[in-house]
Amino acid sequence: MKSTGGSDAAKRRAGEAAADTVEPGMVVGLGTGSTAAYAIEALGDAVDDGLDIVGVPTSFGARQRAIDCGIPLCSLDEIDGIDIVIDGADQFVRDTGSCIKGGGAAHSREKLVASAAETVHLVVDETKLTDALDHPVPLEVLPDAHTVVADAVRSLGGEPTLRDAANKDGPVVTDNGNLVCDVDFGTISDPASIATHLSAVTGVVEHGLFVECATTVSVGQADGVSTTTY
Ligand SMILES: O=C[C@H](O)[C@H](O)[C@H](O)COP(=O)(O)O
């Protein structure tokens, strides 16, 4: 599992705090990344102890992790809705509940699962907090469209970079068979406006801006965890 910036202890605190809120009978969206992984592990332990839940994974990686942890799974088209999704973020604004996701190239399915969830519980360590979003925005892009999309995002004021794979010659390929383009907009003063413009670009499957998306956030710190509900 790829680990990002913050300490593992802080990520674990955030993940476990969110897992603690899950109740018997819930349908639980299972997020992607190193922080959400701690929530999946904690839920696996709870299932071992008799907690009755069904998980909906947001990526191939989350699915594999949930299988390893013994969490029963189903797909989105088999259920009426999701009670809670627990997921990470690459950058998060606590005042607004907005964030940027997709560092693990899973943001399209993550946004789909979040859109079906009653509660979106984000889990981050404190290094992810910011007053204004300025992390590059991941776009999942149809392979044939990446040059057209690059031109379109330049006209919106962004600087696109096709994401290269770490362990293969060539680009990252998503679980859906698409490419990822990371777009640097500098500081994003109006995330809703950028989100609307990105959604309108032909060839963009989904972007990683999640505007005022969180209903709850748990922020793991060196010495504890703080949870905010919106
Ligand atoms: O595509 C990946 C997801 O959006 C992750 O939730 C996000 O990148 C945060 O991952 P991590 O908890 O490993 O920093």
Could you tell me the CATH number of the domain that includes residue 189?
A: 3.30.70.260
Has the ipTM of the complex gone over 0.95?
yes
pLDDT digits (tens, 9 = 90+) for 37-71: 999 999 999 999 999 999 999 999 999 999 999 99
Cβ-contact 153, 203 below 8 angstroms = no
Claim to verify: residue 115 and residue 224 sit in the same structural domain: yes
pLDDT digits (tens, 9 = 90+) for 163-202: 999 999 999 999 999 999 999 999 999 999 999 999 999 9
Task: Take residue 125 and report the two structure tokens written for it.
Answer: 């360590």
pLDDT digits (tens, 9 = 90+) for 108-127: 999 999 999 999 999 999 99
pLDDT at 168: 93
Claim to verify: residue 76 and residue 146 sit in the same structural domain: no
Mutate to test the pocket of ligand 1, among 30, 35, 206, 219 (most ligand atoms within 8 A of CB): 35
Q: Ligand 1 centroid to 16 CA: how many Å?
A: 16
Cβ-contact 44, 71 below 8 angstroms = yes
Cβ-contact 73, 28 below 8 angstroms = no
Residue 223: exposure state from Cβ atoms within 10 A (0-12, 13-18, ≥19): exposed
In this model, does residue 2 exceed pLDDT 60?
Answer: no
Q: How far is CA 173 from CA 143, 179, 190, 220, in A?
A: 9, 5, 29, 30
Claim to verify: residue 163 and residue 221 sit in the same structural domain: no
- Residues in CB range of 25: below 8 A, 6 or more apart: 52, 53
Q: Indicate the average pLDDT of the chain.
A: 97
Number of domains in the chain: 2
How far is it, in rounded angstroms, from Cα 63 to Cα 105?
A: 15
User: Percent of the chain, pLDDT > 70?
Assistant: 98
pLDDT at 149: 98
Query: 3-state class of 41 per DSSP?
Result: helix
pLDDT at 3: 55
Residue 67: exposure state from Cβ atoms within 10 A (0-12, 13-18, ≥19): middle
pLDDT digits (tens, 9 = 90+) for 27-44: 999 999 999 999 999 999
Residue 131: exposure state from Cβ atoms within 10 A (0-12, 13-18, ≥19): exposed
Task: Give the nearest ligand 1 atom to 208 CA.
Answer: 4
- Band (6; pLDDT cuts 50, 70, 90): confident
Claim to verify: residue 152 and residue 60 sit in the same structural domain: no
Claim to verify: residue 27 and residue 123 sit in the same structural domain: yes
Claim to verify: residue 51 and residue 149 sit in the same structural domain: no
Claim to verify: residue 192 and residue 125 sit in the same structural domain: no
Catalytic entry in 16, 41, 110, 206: 110
Indicate whether 3 belongs to any domain.
no
Residue-number span of the structural domain to which 92 is assigned: 8-131+211-229
Q: What is the pTM of this model?
A: 0.96
Indicate whether 197 belongs to any domain.
yes
